Amino acid sequence: MAFPCIRGHHIYASLLSSKSVIVDLGGHKGEFSSILIEKHGCTSHVIEAMPNLYAGIKQHQQLYAYHFAAGSLDGTMEFHVSSNPESNSLRLKSEDHVETIIVPTISISSFMNRFAITRIDLLKMDIEGAEIDVIRGMSDELLQSIPQITVEFHDFIPEMKLEQDVADCIERLKSLRFACIVFSRHTHFDVLFLNTRHCSLFVILQGRITKYIHGFGRIIRRFLG
């Protein structure tokens, strides 16, 4: 499948190979990266802010883990821990808030310089609202060098009030010649940005068609129970 959905993130698989480099922001226990490494033989750098999740990532010669929260600046920030490991956040205390800890933060450009990462072939973001700060902290040149970016925006959480911020990020990436394919139905829960310098118009059209095929499949599954 050209546009598989990997743990809630659609990607364009045909751009990946054994030479590809993934940067996985909000890597949890490395599941997303491990699937792509197994499938394509690529290398992944996983950034995870939650100490116990970071400690649970099984590192090897193709999967490297780092204990940071990705953001726009280097330093430290408060990190709100939830009883639901999918809801830990720099931005918002959830209803299941357990504690607040201090975590190191790092920008993408600093991360690349510090760990000698020369390129990113796929950037994945699932960082509970901090994706806005990450994108704002990246230069146009750095963004334009990335063939594809898959993002879980968090405008589906009303308390975060991210609707305009998400719209601004999407417009910026479009201005940098990214095609935006929103695979989620009502919000921007699953968005794939394809760099038109690396993808033909046919591929982008194929992605948009895939969006509706997958959506129709979800409707059929709900109908069938």
Closest CA to 63 of 37, 89, 35: 37
Q: Which two tokens stand for residue 167?
A: 């719209």
Q: What tens digit of pLDDT does each residue of 140-186 get?
A: 999 999 999 999 999 988 888 899 999 999 999 999 999 999 999 88
How many CB atoms are closer than 10 A to CB 182?
A: 17
Q: Taking the domain 5-224, which CATH number applies?
A: 3.40.50
Residue 218 has pLDDT above 90, yes or no: no
Question: What tens digit of pLDDT does each residue of 9-33 get?
Answer: 999 999 999 999 999 999 999 999 9
- Please tell me the pTM assigned to this model: 0.92
The pLDDT tens digits of the residues spanning 167-176 come to 999 999 999 9
